[in-house]
Structure 1
Amino acid sequence: MTKSAETTYDLVVFGATSFVGQILTRYLLETYGLGKTVNWAIAGRSESKLNTLKSDLGSKAKDLPVILADAADEQALQAMCAQTRVIISTVGPYALYGEPLVQACVRTGTDYCDLTGEVQWIRKMVDRYEDEAKASGARIVHCCGFDSIPSDMGVWFLQQQAEQTFGEPCQNVRMRVKALKGEFSGGTVASMMNIAKEAGADPKLRKELANPFSISPAGHRSEARQPSLKGAEYDKTFNVWLAPFVMGAINTRIIHRSNALQNARYGKEFTYDEAMMTGRGMKGRLAAYGITSGLAAFFTASAIKPSRWLVEKFVPQPGEGPSPEAQKAGYYDLRFVGRTEDGKTIITKVTGDQDPGYGSTGKMLGEAGMCLAFDIPAEKEGGFWTPSSLLNGSLLDRLTRNAGLTFEVLETR
């Protein structure tokens, strides 16, 4: 069925009482108010928790509408979708709890965005529901948090600048995390542990997770070897040591899907990779080896049942997170280096003004939902999109105007 224009709400926040859901809800209330520029509601399974959230938000939230729906209740989810044009979901790990809502959105023609970073789940959703989403007109946009908006929109911005400056896109782009201050969210850690658990038990999944084109449309493959940093390495461009970036596994796949959905705008042999800068000299080298070893130990321990319980004791749990003060003290600084086929180079910078996994993610997710609700033409085709391939310049404007992100060209040569 196709979505009717007659809906009560522009958007609904599903999972509003989760840690990121609360940040998102507060952001929407403070930025857009109630019933002014946007009609919106909060939703979840617990009426008491939703009412407590309203109380915590203060008098401005007294008229905030509440919708009751459980993530496993198909009828309730469809009833919720029927009332709105856009659903923003924070209920993860999505591989465990996310499919019924995606299915409900697809079947009711409701636009949807979330903050998943679970590549194996995205692949399943695309395989199962893409044709139906195209038929109903539902636009589904995964990865609208720290993974993968800064990377995806960062590459989109760099390529836009390269086309304007050089008259062609960059065939190779590398992203380097120059600085980052913040904590992993409990939800992100739970999702990463679930991926490790599934991959440990399924050789086929391990092979799929190693494929940089695993969520790209069939036929979109590059003959060029895709770089993938596995250990410590020295970067001659910035003269620093590098370590693997834990979010690179999902971000690279989103960027390749973005390229495919834009008709290979970045080139059919486009290459992309991500890494963390760890500093110069012996200190930077030791840090790079330390991060590499730590990541390997985390994923190995998470994949094995006897050690998984021990990891769970020392990592943040879903629903836990830093204080508002700590969120505001966080930040990130990402550098992108792009090179055209004939060697022209552009270096750009993307920054965020809050903790990447919480404060900044809440704001990015909110603006992605607003962009879906107000900026994308109704005739734009349904299906499974990425942030840059569907929301592109409209989202960039919202991120810089409201969400504390900056996009800047540092150098061209």
Structure 2
Amino acid sequence: MIYVSDTDRQYDLVVWGATGVAGSLVATYLTEQYSPDTLSLALGGRNAERLKALVSDLTRQSEWSEIPIVLGDATDPESLREIAHSTRVVCTTVGPYTTYGTPLVEACVETETDYCDLTGEVTWVREMIDRYHEPAVDADTRIVHSCGFDSVPADLGTLLVQSDAADTFDTTCDMVRIYAESARGGVSGGTLASMVEQFEAASTDPLARQTLRHPYSLAPPGERSGIDPGTQRRPRKDGLRKAWTAPSPMAPVNERVVRRSNALLGYPWGREFRCTEVIPTGPGLKGAAGASLITGGLGLFIAAMSIGPVRSAISEYVFPEPGEGPTAEQVKKGHFTVRVLGRGTTRDGPFTVEAEFGADWDPGYGATARMLGESAMCLVEDDTNSPLDGGVLTPASAIGDPLVDRLRDVGFTATVGRATEN
């Protein structure tokens, strides 16, 4: 372990991968939202010329007159240790994390540097839990994964529902359903490359296949079991909303993150807590047809991506290259809404609590840049209400309500409806 006191750190925050699509959006957001008087910021990557060009653009568009750059390589552990050594928090957008993420996590644990990312790579997160959770606990270092569209809306939406239920009914919901109601936005080559990595891992590694199939695969070791059957796989009529639903492609990530939050916080929602994410398609025959169409399309895509030669062809000829992403106009025109319904029971009968989480930006980029940037700022300013000082954590378990408040302040919808008895 390399101990560095916070007073010896040169920077508050390093955005690692700042010249990529997501990284440049995070850097732009931070320089627009914060001033050099309140944040000591540096931008990191491996290409000095591209970093200098980004700094030139940002200083023309903001009150920042200069922004330091730090150079390193995701495959060079020593350069990553030097970067981690220089800052209090690292915020990274460099993926696929399965390929490029592990040395940086290791460097942050070694130097006791807090860390956040936007990964949705479940198999890699499982590896980080097994390898680094206990060392991070011992180092009082927070390694916070999935601080973007995967999985802030689902994780914090569930936290809002459960907190409201506890305040109103003095108990929590034993079941939560997350509805990916609407979303409009683009997808970058880097995001799709991360998805390809998941399929590659599952095709060759039995542990990766088990991780993707097991609903409790991100729970702490020794606690990877429970009553939750896991991700919905076929069209189903929803009992809470009286409408048809289809499987959500984000469910394999978000559901496991929410279950991990419950476990890390000491099971405040109970050991029999269940969580499902779905796409609502409406009532009646039209809703049933929509649910069947989505389910069939998702199934065909998964089947195609599970075949090595087909996966390679899609990656090479269909998906955009890493570094390519949505235009600034697409980011501005995007939006998303995630609704979370919780159901619990008191001696007086059942109750429901409803939360809504959304924003008028592209979910994977404009909104994610703000979610990741504010997650990093919570770590910089130690603005959390978490009982945990370290470990491989989730947004709800590492930060909690302060992140909800910050996101509301910058334009997100994050509301909880009045709990009503049914």
Per-residue deviation at 1:333? Answer: 1.2
Choose the corresponding residue for 1:10, options 9, 12, 23.
12
Shift of 1:222: 5.2
Aligned to 1:322: 326
- The one-letter code sitting in structure 1 at the alignment partner of 2:43 is I
TM-score, with length taken from structure 1: 0.95
Q: Structure 2: which amino acid aligns with 1:86?
A: V
2:147 is equivalent to residue 148 of structure 1: no
Alignment of 1:388 with 2:396, yes or no, is yes
The equivalent residue for 1:400 is 408
SS at match of 1:255: helix
| Further displaced range: 288-297 or 251-260 | 288-297
Q: 1:335 aligns with which of 324, 339, 355?
A: 339
Give how far 1:379 is off. 9.7
Structure 2 residue aligned with 1:367: 374
- Percent identity of equivalent pairs: 41
1:94: how far off?
A: 0.1
Moved more, 63-72 or 303-312: 303-312
Query: What does residue range 77-226 of structure 1 map to in structure 2 within 5 Å?
Result: 77-221=80-224, 223-226=226-229
Q: How does 1:303-322 map to 2 (within 5 A)?
A: 303-312=306-315, 313-322=317-326
Structure 1 contact 347–412 (Cα < 8 Å) conserved: no
Amino acid at match of 1:383: G
Structure 1: stretches of 5+ with no match in the other structure: none
Give the distance between the partners of 1:318 and 1:53, measured in 2 at CA: 18
CA shift, 1:7, in A, is 1.0
Contact residue 375 and residue 394 of structure 1 kept, 8 A = no
Q: Deviations over 1:309-360 (max 9, x none)?
A: 3322223332222222211211111111111144221122111221111100
How far 1:39 sits from its partner (Å)? 0.7
Q: 1:380: Cα distance to partner?
A: 5.1
- Going from structure 1 to structure 2, the CA distance change for 1:48 and 1:2 (only over 3 Å counts) comes to same
The 3 A distance-change label for structure 1 pair 405 and 64 is: farther
Distance 2:178 2:190 in 1: 24
Q: 1:353–1:405: 8 Å Cα contact kept in structure 2?
A: no
The alpha-carbon deviation at position 73 of structure 1 amounts to: 1.2
How far did 1:221 drift? 4.6
Cα 1:238/1:410, change in 2 over 3 Å: farther
Stretch deviating more after TM superposition (2-11 or 143-152): 2-11
1:299 corresponds to: 302
Deviations 1:199-218 (A, max 9, x none): 12233422221111111112
TM-superposed deviation, 1:268: 1.1
Deviates more, 1:280-289 or 1:154-163: 280-289
- Farther off after superposition, 374-383 or 65-74: 374-383
Which letter maps to 1:386? T
> Of 262, 269, 273, which residue of structure 2 is paired with 1:270?
273
Instruction: Give, as a single letter, the amino acid of the residue that structure 2 aligns with 1:49.
Output: R
Distance 1:167 1:149, change over 3 A: same
* Paired letter, 2:99: L
Q: Answer whether contact 1:298 1:311 (CA < 8 A) is retained.
A: no
Three-state SS of the structure 2 residue aligned to 1:266 is: coil
Consecutive unaligned residues in structure 2, runs of 5 or more? none
TM-score by length of 2: 0.93
CA shift at 1:391, angstroms?
Answer: 0.3
Whether 1:350 and 2:354 are equivalent positions in the alignment is: no
Indicate the SS of the match to 1:215.
Answer: coil
Equivalent residues, number: 412
Larger deviation: 118-127 or 205-214? 205-214
Q: Using the TM superposition, name which of 136-145 and 192-201 deviates more.
A: 192-201
- Alpha-carbon distance, 1:390 to partner: 1.5
Contact 1:226 1:272 in 2 (8 A): no
- Distance in 1, Cα, partners of 2:207 & 2:392: 23
Alpha-carbon RMSD: 1.9
Provide the rounded CA distance (Å) in 2 between the counterparts of 1:379 and 1:263. Answer: 10
CA contact (8 A) 2:136 2:392 kept: yes
8 Å CA contact retained: 2:140, 2:390: yes
* Residues 236 and 399 of structure 1: CA distance in aligned 2, closer, same or farther (over 3 Å): same
Say whether the 8 Å CA contact 1:349–1:410 is kept in structure 2: no
Answer with 217-226 or 164-173: which moved more.
217-226
| More moved, 346-355 vs 102-111 | 346-355
Q: CA deviation digits over 1:140-181, x for unaligned, max 9? A: 000000000000000001100001111111011111112111
Deviates more, 1:290-299 or 1:137-146: 290-299
Whether 2:53 is the aligned partner of 1:46: answer no
Q: Which amino acid aligns with 1:404?
A: F
Match of 2:359, as an amino acid? G
Deviation at 1:75, TM superposition (A): 1.4
Give the conservation status (yes or no) of the 8 Å contact 1:54–1:62: no
Counterpart of 2:264 in structure 1: which amino acid? L
Task: Indicate the residue corresponding to 1:72 in structure 2.
Answer: 75
How many Å apart are 1:411 and its aligned residue?
Answer: 4.9
* Distance in 1 separating the partners of 2:403 and 2:149: 14
Structure 1's 203 and 346: CA in aligned 2 closer, same or farther, altered over 3 A? same
Would you say the 8 A contact 1:198–1:303 is kept in 2? no
Write the distance in 1 (CA, Å) between the matches of 2:165 and 2:321: 42
